[in-house]
Amino acid sequence: MATKLLTSSLLLLLSLTLIISTSSTPSPDICIIGSGIAGSSLAHFLRTYPTNLTFNSIKIFERHDIVGGRTSTINLGGDTFEAGASIIHPKNLHALNFTKLLGLRHNEPSDNDDDDSSFGIWDGDKFLFKTVQMPKWGLGFGLFSKVLGLWNSFRVFLRYGVSVFRMQRFVKVAVDCFGKYYDGFDSRPVFENVEEMLKWAGLYELTSRSLEEELGDAGLSPKLISELVTVITRVNYGQSVSISGLAGAVSLAGSGDGLWSVKGGNWQIAAGLINRSDVILHLQEEIETVSYFGGFYELNSTKGNSYNCEVAVIATPLDESNIRFSPSISIPDRKLQHTHATFVRGLLNPAYFSLNSVWEIPELVGTIEAPNLPFSCISVLKKYSEDDVAYKIFTRTPIEESLLDRIFSLRKETIRINWGAYPHFKAPEVFAPFVLDGFHLYYINAFENAASTIETSAVAAENVARLILSRYPGETSSNLRNSAASVGMALHLDL
Ligand SMILES: Cc1cc2nc3c(=O)[nH]c(=O)nc-3n(C[C@H](O)[C@H](O)[C@H](O)COP(=O)(O)OP(=O)(O)OC[C@H]3O[C@@H](n4cnc5c(N)ncnc54)[C@H](O)[C@@H]3O)c2cc1C
């Protein structure tokens, strides 16, 4: 009798538990604004991480007619070139993992005879330094690898001394710290704000001082900082060595060896992640307003449509955005650095560089900070024939036609893009919160003034995915915070 009573009590308890868990298992709708790496990788992480939440839908809104945001390509004279983010570091494990998962192929530096391409530092009047010219032409991959050919590295050493090794050491320490973001969930917390996330990895201090100060303390010579380092920060972020130490370290890392890109365009990472994440994609649909109505957000678009979601995620910088929030939100002021990318098919004019022949002009012309220097860099993308070459020029302001006419002796095609490219980095950096309203309005690009890259967007999106899953009511799978089961979620280099 006692056994029968116990059995029926247990059955009652079990059915009650089932009723409670079925009725209380939430199935939120998630709206993501932005289809770049941040938005697409967030959808991927939400779909693949272990959780007892079932998402009713994941919607991504993109104002343009193509996904990928700042990873995009242009067509110049029938050839496709990266127009925005062009290089990925060999230790960017999310990007590596995504491309492997999606079956995308890599352009390796070796595909482009990168080590043989030439490099020069232009001060507006003359070349301060030029690598020895090699006869081959490359695609303009890693900057530092260009100068580290055997003979050329000796010449770099002659000019800058042991400072070069100190610079490499500075970069390695930062890259190693960044690698902590690939640790498993058991040892890596979910971060509620950017400061906490950076402090945990040992990177926060680097955002509170300028690159120039950090490198000075690391024992780099003023000459190396004002020349080679400046060239690199101008190429990668269009800014001087006054950027924060962390953005600077990331920029320097993006000029090293082993850099790669996706064959056919880096935008395919975003496209592939969206395709395999059961996303409802709304292209050419710009979100104008996000309003909180207690328990859900209403998003209104320029098409006059309304969407309700329990979770809303901003996966784009808000600095130049027109999105209006109700109730209003408050985030620190941050400016975007604009980079004007001009693509030219034609031929450079050697006279502009006081040279006799176009072949004496290095394939990557970097520049120092000088008041009247009108461009940040010019690089060769592809050589078709002796008088037909594809080039990319980065400037801080729109490049004038008259200047292009002086720089080029021949111009068949010119394409211009004005990028709101990355934050104007300024130490000490002040960060917006990941959670904008204390409820379920999230901001992935709060992380972007730490550094702006494909990988940092993915790393921030991964943390926001865990933050959503760990904060959403009804989510009980604590393994997102620290279970042993999550050890397998750690990423390794041998992916
Ligand atoms: C010229 C240039 C060179 C770069 N070089 C490199 C590089 O070599 N390597 C590297 O790793 N990184 C590089 N970067 C940086 C890198 O591109 C970015 O950090 C990264 O792509 C940002 O991705 P994201 O998804 O966070 O933002 P984004 O790619 O900007 O995506 C945001 C998306 O949101 C959309 N959107 C915005 N507002 C709305 C709205 N209201 N409604 C709907 N949609 C909206 C936008 O159209 C966009 O598609 C470069 C950037 C530029 C511009």
pLDDT at residue number 331: 97
How far, in Å, is the centroid of ligand 1 from the Cα of 36?
6
Using the atom order of ligand 1, give the atom closest to the CA of residue 67.
49
Indicate whether 345 belongs to any domain.
yes
Using the atom order of ligand 1, give the atom closest to the CA of residue 339.
1
CB-based contacts of 225, cutoff 8 Å, min separation 6: 212, 215, 216, 241
- 410 with 446, same domain: the answer is no
- Please, is 39 exposed, middle or buried when counting C-beta atoms within 10 Å of its C-beta (0-12, 13-18, 19+)? buried
- 300 with 349, same domain: the answer is no
How far, in Å, is the centroid of ligand 1 from the Cα of 391?
22
pLDDT at residue number 477: 58
- 273 with 328, same domain: the answer is yes
Using the atom order of ligand 1, give the atom closest to the CA of residue 420.
53
Indicate whether 131 belongs to any domain.
yes
The model's pLDDT over 20-54, given as tens digits with 9 standing for 90+, comes to 344 456 789 999 999 999 999 999 999 999 887 88
How far, in Å, is the centroid of ligand 1 from the Cα of 473?
31
Indicate whether 295 belongs to any domain.
yes
Indicate whether 7 belongs to any domain.
no
Residue 177 beta carbon below 6 angstroms from any ligand 1 atom:
no
- DSSP track, 230-283: HHHHHHHHS--TTSBHHHHHHHHHTTSSS-BEETT-THHHHHHHHHTTTEEEET
| pLDDT in 10s for each residue of the chain, 495 residues | 444 444 444 444 444 343 334 445 678 999 999 999 999 999 999 999 988 788 899 999 999 999 999 999 999 999 999 999 999 999 999 999 999 999 999 996 655 544 467 899 999 999 999 987 654 433 344 566 565 566 677 888 889 999 999 999 999 999 999 999 999 999 999 999 999 999 999 999 999 999 999 999 999 999 999 999 999 999 999 999 999 999 999 999 998 889 999 999 999 999 999 999 999 999 999 999 999 999 999 999 999 999 999 999 999 999 999 999 999 999 999 999 999 999 999 999 999 999 999 999 999 999 999 988 999 999 999 999 999 999 999 999 999 999 999 999 999 999 999 999 999 999 999 999 999 999 999 999 999 999 999 999 999 999 999 999 999 887 665 555 543 233 335 554 433
How far, in Å, is the centroid of ligand 1 from the Cα of 453?
8
Is the Cα torsion angle 448, 454, 459, 465 positive or negative in sign? positive
Using the atom order of ligand 1, give the atom closest to the CA of residue 236.
5
- 167 with 315, same domain: the answer is no
Query: What's the whole-model pTM score?
Result: 0.91
**What CATH number did the domain enclosing 293 receive?**
3.50.50.60
How far, in Å, is the centroid of ligand 1 from the Cα of 316?
7
pLDDT at residue number 475: 65
- 52 with 192, same domain: the answer is no
pLDDT at residue number 44: 97
pLDDT at residue number 479: 53
How far, in Å, is the centroid of ligand 1 from the Cα of 71?
6
Residue 319 beta carbon below 6 angstroms from any ligand 1 atom:
no
- 242 with 225, same domain: the answer is yes
Is the Cα torsion angle 114, 122, 83, 257 positive or negative in sign? positive
Q: Which residue has the tokens 């050491």?
A: 169
* Overall number of domains in the chain: 3
pLDDT at residue number 109: 60
pLDDT at residue number 111: 56
pLDDT at residue number 2: 43
Indicate whether 138 belongs to any domain.
yes
Ligand 1 pocket test target in 287, 316, 322 with most atoms within 8 Å of CB: 316
Residue minimizing CA distance to atom 26 of ligand 1:
38
Indicate whether 273 belongs to any domain.
yes
Indicate whether 148 belongs to any domain.
yes
- Please, is 105 exposed, middle or buried when counting C-beta atoms within 10 Å of its C-beta (0-12, 13-18, 19+)? exposed
Q: Which domain holds residue 145?
A: 116-160+336-423
Residue 81 beta carbon below 6 angstroms from any ligand 1 atom:
no
- 302 with 440, same domain: the answer is yes
The encoded tokens of residue 328 equal 């209003």
Nearest 10 degrees: Cα torsion 479, 485, 490, 493: -170
pLDDT at residue number 307: 98
- 359 with 212, same domain: the answer is no
- 174 with 295, same domain: the answer is no
Residue 40 beta carbon below 6 angstroms from any ligand 1 atom:
no
- 174 with 283, same domain: the answer is no
- Of 250, 281, 306, which marks where a domain is finished? 250
Residue 73 beta carbon below 6 angstroms from any ligand 1 atom:
no
Indicate whether 356 belongs to any domain.
yes
Residue minimizing CA distance to atom 19 of ligand 1:
453
CB-based contacts of 196, cutoff 8 Å, min separation 6: none
Residue minimizing CA distance to atom 33 of ligand 1:
34
- 359 with 414, same domain: the answer is yes
pLDDT at residue number 326: 98
- 345 with 419, same domain: the answer is yes
Buried b (16+ CB within 10 A) or exposed e, 360-394: ebbbbbbbbbeeebebbbbbbbbeeeeeebbbbbb
